[in-house]
């Protein structure tokens, strides 16, 4: 999607070069998406001057927008194509959702907190993302009516892979999520190969808790 030039463009380009490329991220489509999506619009106005820094930021409701590197890394690990239908668990600010929408055919995003969902939906519509659907619900249950999904991204940390999400993952699909305890997790890639779960780990990370029937209670 074409974006008009804005006063934060230079910061956005610097973010990609200094925080992503220098750390070894190489997927050209992912890098282009992060060059395009106006991250500063997904944080409170008082925090916009910090939007492109190498850190997460609060977005209200005790939730955060992940640091740019983590957003890019998780997106790269999905190995997205423009034919994919993606399920995102944890819409949050909508920033990761917008990045996915730049790369995939369709993005279905679930947010358990109505205020965040409403804000993200309105901003994504304002920015012209017509391939995104946001709903309020319990992320660990997935979105059965839209399954199967080629890719699933979970933006909160849980103790294990929620069974409904693996069930809703298409054969040959990839699921990226943080797994561990409520404080520290390991970024994990799950693939469905002949109906079986194949996993790879990609380093330590820290996310807010995944809340729901198949994760933490609160």
| Catalytic site positions | 66
Cα angle for residues 194, 196, 201 (degrees, 5° grid): 120
Cα angle for residues 179, 101, 41 (degrees, 5° grid): 90
What whole-number distance in Å separates Cα of residue 145 and Cα of residue 128?
A: 24
Contacts 24+ apart (CB under 8 A), 126-129: 127/1, 127/38, 127/41, 127/98, 128/1, 129/1, 129/97, 129/98, 129/101
Give strand pairing partners of 190: 175, 199
Give strand pairing partners of 135: 110
CA separation, residue 12 to residues 8, 9, 35, 40 (Å):
6, 5, 6, 9
Nearest to 96 by CA among 78, 114, 113: 78
Dig out the tokens for 35 from the structure.
């060059």
């Amino acid at each position: 999607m074409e974006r008009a030039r804005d006063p934060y463009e230079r910061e956005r380009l610097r973010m990609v070069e200094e925080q992503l490329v220098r750390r070894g991220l190489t997927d050209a489509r992912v890098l282009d998406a992060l060059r395009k999506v106006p991250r500063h619009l997904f944080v409170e106005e008082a925090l916009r001057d910090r939007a492109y820094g190498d850190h997460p930021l609060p977005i209200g409701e005790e939730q955060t927008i992940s640091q740019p590197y983590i957003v890019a890394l998780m997106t790269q690990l999905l190995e997205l194509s423009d034919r994919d239908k993606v399920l995102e668990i944890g819409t949050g600010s909508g920033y990761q959702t917008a990045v996915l929408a730049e790369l995939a055919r369709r993005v279905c995003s679930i947010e358990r907190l109505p205020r965040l969902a409403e804000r993200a939906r309105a901003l994504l519509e304002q920015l012209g993302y017509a391939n995104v659907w946001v709903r309020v619900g319990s992320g660990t249950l997935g979105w059965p009516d839209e399954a199967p999904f080629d890719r699933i991204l979970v933006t909160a940390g849980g103790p294990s892979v929620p069974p409904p999400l693996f069930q809703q993952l298409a054969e040959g699909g990839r699921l990226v999520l943080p797994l561990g305890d409520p404080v520290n997790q390991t970024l994990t890639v799950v693939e469905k190969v002949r109906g079986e779960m194949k996993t790879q780990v990609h380093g330590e990370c820290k996310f807010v808790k995944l809340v729901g029937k198949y994760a933490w209670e609160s």
